[in-house]
Chains A and B, each alone.
Chain A
């Protein structure tokens, strides 16, 4: 294995390096100077993100266990950018007096979960996949319980680790059944031997419900609201965008590559899950007042829409999913960013608390409105294009009824997204959140999100680029 091959793993190696450096520096920094760690870590991570953009020839490592190509690289870059935005937004949270001591841990834990996700994204067999998945899951529980003296946060952490263990168990059981039926753990080998036998079906369903847990598909979603609500808001943002995005990506790859000969099998199950997820997610989102729970259910519904796009199969399906996730990163992080800015400035985390926000903080309200309109899929904001291509992808396989259900759900969702807009712009409040100036990092992150919201839909080249790199996979 020469140097060229190591370059294939540059994302992972860099993350490991960054995590180790932060860990070491953290060790030798006194508690009073910990706040300096924020800028230092941000700098390191930005460098790692930028280096990730350098193109490298595709290749395979460890006999096929690790795959690197333009699409996985592109996706890891998306994840890096998303995490960078989360880091920028965490500035206010980490500067709070009770958190400064934990700054190093915050960065290290997130970077380590990201490392797991990168391995998962690049995996070429079920073993690498599972190890990556677990590396990505376990530190997350620690992050969720980061406010360890708040009972809700601690409770959420315990819930997550227990349920996560359950789902991993089921998932592993599914993988072992598939191994039993086909005699291999390599994606390319399994694909050749997979048939619609009862054993494979059972294995597949266990695998799917395990993944459904990570992506929070209904009925495997019940942990989502409690955990999202209990976790610090920046971690919630991270969970809803980065964790979910990575899981969706690898699920799509496995469905398209490993189970390509039994499309009936997964299309039937995804059909059901997509309808359930969109509908139930929407129905719950209708009556939430806590902004984190609200965004949790909204992100469940969004996952349902992604499932609709996966039904498209082939490069169009892959492209629409990756494109949607790219847009979703900027959209959801925009919404969470505003929520986080408000939360760290005033502690308000309820929608009714947002009443009259426009009169005091017009710019934040506008950004929130843009993000929510994007989630609702109103053109010309990027979210519309994301949804449009998801539906087009499903339409190319003739799933018009499913699209109809999807579009109906999108219309219902408009109702609750507008509800938040209404609170900010229209409802009056005697005690609106007073004007505040968010930190420069927060401003930068919101600027990035807004730029993404406007540009991704209108720069036609992005979709074409994703199309061209997903084409290579098929």
Chain B
């Protein structure tokens, strides 16, 4: 057996970096903190790769993989049976997440050296980045739910600090607060779920809870509350926590606003790591969902399906490039939830599970890349809005090519990474739930449409009058993008069905032509639609402006088709469907959440009169309270 205890260093290095730069950073030159953070994370990154290599290739046996717990310290003991440990748990999904988190974080660290250069609070930024990475790694490696919850909250707190980094921007501060409070609200469900689960099963340990056929759940399936069994309650509440972090409808409202944070933070937190923590949580507890709460799993699938379609439609209407990417992230996480929701356990039935994890992996690569690309553009254009961009391919060739690779990956065009994972999800849905299959199928088309709308608007089209000429970003920003582009291009060839499966045993997986051909087709349709609408439209307006007359007449007919397209999409689809959904989102869902706050403040104002400062009134309330309490008790205890 290989000794894995060095894995504990992977989270401990960022923690040390955080403590050192947090405490001493102020005294150094800004760059020193950045370099220390980056080097530290680089070490973690290589250790993770090494651990993944050892785990997947050196310990493999015919029976599949095993859960390995190299470190586990007793921390709190409630009773002799209910004890809480702190430790490190390695199984295929945690090792995979280890690689994802350290890779993206390492890239964000390098990238930020260029992107955040000269920002006020550079040291603080790197300290927070290390803290976040540490907490995220803690979530991934937890051996029990309690430990996971601690790190889960720490992730929330550190992302609060990072989103609110531009603290002189009121919108950033509001967004940070919103993100924190919405996810905290979701976490209250998570906490109660944990309490119920551990109260009845008597343990927090994943290794005990995950054994199929364990008798731990006898007690909790027996009890019921409001006609629903205890385990269903517990698992639904735990999913509530997952939905908060992963921004599933209707708890998604914080994510688009969170884009106020620095762009590398968006890449790290809002694309690759924190937002997939919810998916990871569901995957971590998958055996419980599958064997004891299958209804909740179906519910998860539908929530994911709805979110993915809903968010994709909104993404079509956005003009801020980071917001497009934010909604796109929601939509893609919806895919992962669908994959888990339709999955079975073991062998080919568990395809959905593998596909969900696979998509999590590929999505981390291409979505982080899209964000870094967006950051590279914002860095040089100084605007988030599409209208301020155009024709950038001439000025930023590397950003252009890498962005294109990521766009093709998210659209599911072979041989880019997204094709393989999305195809597996669609296949899994096709076999398990036709409705979800169609929803995801349509979403795939919309996805390629909005991403290429973005792509054409940024890199093609008219040459905007830039204040100063755009330029390619510095090397320390470009290298991470190239690295991720390699991942987004070739990541799909990793044989996930041999590595990450629901029961940790490999199974044979083959391409399903019946699903993959139509899915590539709809991806291409989406790209074509975007091409016609956004590449040509701008080309046209350019040429019309230059030479009215001959060209105008020759392209008249085409223009007419464009108009029709525009009419159908912009007037009917946008105004009829997408706008109302966007309105519903911002007014009703958002409004409801704000409403709760307003009502609380109102009540608080109304009862202010109680606190008058008058002694007689205080005495009166005291006596009255006593009497009412006495009457209440006498009544409820049966003396009336």
* A interface list, Cβ under 8 A from B: 159, 162-163, 166-167, 170, 196, 198, 201-202, 205-206, 208-209, 213, 219-220, 222-223, 225-226, 264-265, 268-269, 272-273, 280, 283-284, 286-287, 373, 378-380, 384-385, 388, 391-392, 395-396, 400, 403-404, 407-408, 410-412, 414-415, 418, 422, 425-426, 428, 458, 460, 463-464
Docked pose: A16 CA to B541 CA in angstroms: 92
Contact of B622 among A213, A268, A392 (CB under 8 A): A213
Please list the 7 inter-chain residue pairs (A to B) with the smallest Cβ-Cβ separation, ordered nearest first.
A219-B625, A222-B618, A460-B76, A209-B626, A283-B604, A407-B188, A205-B630
Q: Is the CB of B636 within 8 A of A268?
A: yes
Could you say which of B446-454, B580-588, B605-613 contacts chain A?
A: B605-613
Nearest chain A CB to B479 CB, angstrom units: 34
Can you list 30 residue pairs at the A/B interface with Cβ under 8 Å?
A198-B639, A201-B630, A205-B633, A209-B622, A219-B625, A222-B618, A222-B621, A265-B637, A269-B632, A283-B603, A283-B604, A284-B611, A286-B601, A379-B150, A391-B195, A395-B199, A403-B195, A404-B188, A404-B192, A408-B188, A410-B188, A411-B188, A412-B600, A414-B184, A418-B177, A425-B167, A426-B167, A426-B173, A458-B75, A464-B77
| Closest chain A residue, CB of each to CB of B83 | A460
- Interface flags for B167-181 (1: CB within 8 Å of A; 0: not) read 110000100010011
Chain B residues whose CB sits within 8 angstroms of the CB of A280 once the complex forms: 607
Chain A residues whose CB sits within 8 angstroms of the CB of B149 once the complex forms: 379
Docked pose: A414 CA to B188 CA in angstroms: 12
Docked pose: A396 CA to B199 CA in angstroms: 7
Chain A residues whose CB sits within 8 angstroms of the CB of B600 once the complex forms: 283, 286, 412
Q: Is the CB of A415 within 8 A of B597?
A: yes
Q: Is the CB of A428 within 8 A of B192?
A: no
Given known A201-B637, A380-B150, contact A460–B75 (CB-CB < 8 A): yes
Chain A residues whose CB sits within 8 angstroms of the CB of B624 once the complex forms: 219
Q: Is the CB of A284 within 8 A of B153?
A: no
- Interface flags for B294-321 (1: CB within 8 Å of A; 0: not) read 0000000000000000000000000000
Q: Is the CB of B196 within 8 A of A400?
A: yes
Q: Is the CB of B153 within 8 A of A222?
A: no
| Closest chain A residue, CB of each to CB of B233 | A400
Nearest chain A CB to B243 CB, angstrom units: 16
Contact of A264 among B84, B199, B637 (CB under 8 A): B637
Docked pose: A392 CA to B604 CA in angstroms: 29
Q: Is the CB of A222 within 8 A of B192?
A: no
Chain B residues whose CB sits within 8 angstroms of the CB of A415 once the complex forms: 181, 597
Docked pose: A303 CA to B622 CA in angstroms: 17
Q: Is the CB of B622 within 8 A of A166?
A: yes
Nearest chain A CB to B4 CB, angstrom units: 24
Nearest chain A CB to B610 CB, angstrom units: 7
B634 at the interface (CB under 8 A from A): yes
Docked pose: A209 CA to B608 CA in angstroms: 22
Contact of A220 among B605, B611, B617, B622 (CB under 8 A): B622
Docked pose: A463 CA to B82 CA in angstroms: 13
Chain A residues whose CB sits within 8 angstroms of the CB of B622 once the complex forms: 163, 166-167, 170, 209, 213, 219-220, 222
Docked pose: A61 CA to B611 CA in angstroms: 44
* B interface list, Cβ under 8 A from A: 74-78, 84, 149-150, 153-154, 157, 164, 167-168, 173, 177, 180-181, 184-185, 188, 191-192, 195-196, 199, 225, 597, 600-601, 603-605, 607-608, 610-611, 613, 615, 617-619, 621-626, 629-630, 632-634, 636-637, 639
Docked pose: A273 CA to B184 CA in angstroms: 25
Chain A residues whose CB sits within 8 angstroms of the CB of B195 once the complex forms: 391-392, 395, 403
Chain A residues whose CB sits within 8 angstroms of the CB of B601 once the complex forms: 286-287
Q: Is the CB of B604 within 8 A of A286?
A: yes
Q: Is the CB of B621 within 8 A of A219?
A: yes
Is the contact region of chain B dominated by helix, strand, or loop, or is it mixed?
helix
A219-B621, A269-B633 known; 12 other A-B pairs, CB under 8 Å?
A201-B639, A219-B624, A269-B632, A378-B157, A395-B195, A400-B225, A404-B192, A411-B184, A411-B185, A418-B177, A425-B167, A426-B173
Docked pose: A269 CA to B177 CA in angstroms: 36
| Closest chain A residue, CB of each to CB of B199 | A395
Q: Is the CB of A379 within 8 A of B604?
A: no
Q: Is the CB of A268 within 8 A of B633?
A: yes
Q: Is the CB of B605 within 8 A of A206?
A: no
Docked pose: A274 CA to B624 CA in angstroms: 18
Chain A residues whose CB sits within 8 angstroms of the CB of B150 once the complex forms: 379-380, 384
| Closest chain B residue, CB of each to CB of A213 | B622
Q: Is the CB of A272 within 8 A of B629?
A: yes
Of B600, B601, B626, the most chain A CB neighbours within 10 A belong to: B626
Q: Is the CB of B629 within 8 A of A209?
A: yes
| Closest chain B residue, CB of each to CB of A388 | B191
Chain A residues whose CB sits within 8 angstroms of the CB of B153 once the complex forms: 378-380, 384
Chain B residues whose CB sits within 8 angstroms of the CB of A162 once the complex forms: 615, 619
Chain B residues whose CB sits within 8 angstroms of the CB of A219 once the complex forms: 621-622, 624-625
Docked pose: A415 CA to B599 CA in angstroms: 14
Nearest chain B CB to A367 CB, angstrom units: 14
Contact of A272 among B84, B608, B632 (CB under 8 A): B632
Q: Is the CB of B181 within 8 A of A414?
A: yes
Q: Is the CB of B618 within 8 A of A223?
A: yes
| Closest chain B residue, CB of each to CB of A415 | B181
Q: Is the CB of A379 within 8 A of B154?
A: yes
Docked pose: A410 CA to B629 CA in angstroms: 25
Of B184, B619, B623, B632, the most chain A CB neighbours within 10 A belong to: B184
Contact of B604 among A209, A287, A378 (CB under 8 A): A287
Q: Is the CB of A198 within 8 A of B634?
A: yes
Chain B residues whose CB sits within 8 angstroms of the CB of A380 once the complex forms: 150, 153-154
| Closest chain A residue, CB of each to CB of B77 | A464
Docked pose: A202 CA to B637 CA in angstroms: 12
Docked pose: A379 CA to B145 CA in angstroms: 14
| Closest chain B residue, CB of each to CB of A273 | B629
Chain A residues whose CB sits within 8 angstroms of the CB of B625 once the complex forms: 209, 219-220
Given known A268-B636, A460-B77, contact A225–B611 (CB-CB < 8 A): yes
Docked pose: A426 CA to B172 CA in angstroms: 10
Nearest chain B CB to A9 CB, angstrom units: 34
Q: Is the CB of A284 within 8 A of B604?
A: yes
Chain B residues whose CB sits within 8 angstroms of the CB of A264 once the complex forms: 637
Chain B residues whose CB sits within 8 angstroms of the CB of A388 once the complex forms: 191
Chain B residues whose CB sits within 8 angstroms of the CB of A167 once the complex forms: 622
Chain B residues whose CB sits within 8 angstroms of the CB of A458 once the complex forms: 75
Chain A residues whose CB sits within 8 angstroms of the CB of B630 once the complex forms: 201-202, 205-206
Chain A residues whose CB sits within 8 angstroms of the CB of B623 once the complex forms: 170
Chain A residues whose CB sits within 8 angstroms of the CB of B618 once the complex forms: 159, 163, 222-223
Q: Is the CB of A166 within 8 A of B619?
A: yes
Nearest chain A CB to B394 CB, angstrom units: 41
Docked pose: A384 CA to B625 CA in angstroms: 32
Chain A residues whose CB sits within 8 angstroms of the CB of B78 once the complex forms: 392
Nearest chain A CB to B14 CB, angstrom units: 15
Docked pose: A265 CA to B607 CA in angstroms: 29
Chain A residues whose CB sits within 8 angstroms of the CB of B76 once the complex forms: 385, 460, 463-464
